[in-house]
Amino acid sequence: MFLFLVIALAVVVAAVTLAVVGGGESDGPLPDVAPERLQDPLPLHRPLNRADIEGLRFPLTARGYRMADVDDALSRLGAELAERDARIADLESALAGAQAAAHVALHKPEHGQEEQQ
């Protein structure tokens, strides 16, 4: 009985191995498939908006996402965020300068009023 179980186990292992390997067919290995690429890259002709980021979907690979696609998207987002931060800083400094000039102009006495006192 034990010998029968060992032979049955060997037959099952051989059948599974042949099924996985391909059964000895001479068609050769599987054909190479082109890797899936990011279908809708981020638009280059305009700044990104929230809808662009929410609609961004990376194609899956065997171990997650393609690093090149993710790196490209992150570098683009980083560059645009840096540009926006610089623009915000410029606008805030211009606003602070305008407010300071307006404050000085409001509190600066006119020449005619100084002479009358």
- pLDDT (mean) for 44-67: 83
φ, ψ of residue 5 in degrees (nearest 5): -65, -40
- pLDDT (mean) for 13-28: 71
> Does position 57 have pLDDT exceeding 70, yes or no?
yes
> Does position 9 have pLDDT exceeding 60, yes or no?
yes
- pLDDT (mean) for 66-90: 91
What Å distances lie between residue 4 and 15, 17, 78, CA to CA?
16, 20, 66
pLDDT score of 46? 85
Most confident of 63-67, 68-72, 92-96, 103-107: 92-96
Exposure string (b/e) for 96-106, b if CB count within 10 Å is 16 or more?
eeeeeeeeeee
> Does position 72 have pLDDT exceeding 60, yes or no?
yes
Q: What is the mean pLDDT of the chain?
A: 81
**pLDDT confidence tier of residue 13, bands split at 50, 70 and 90:** very high
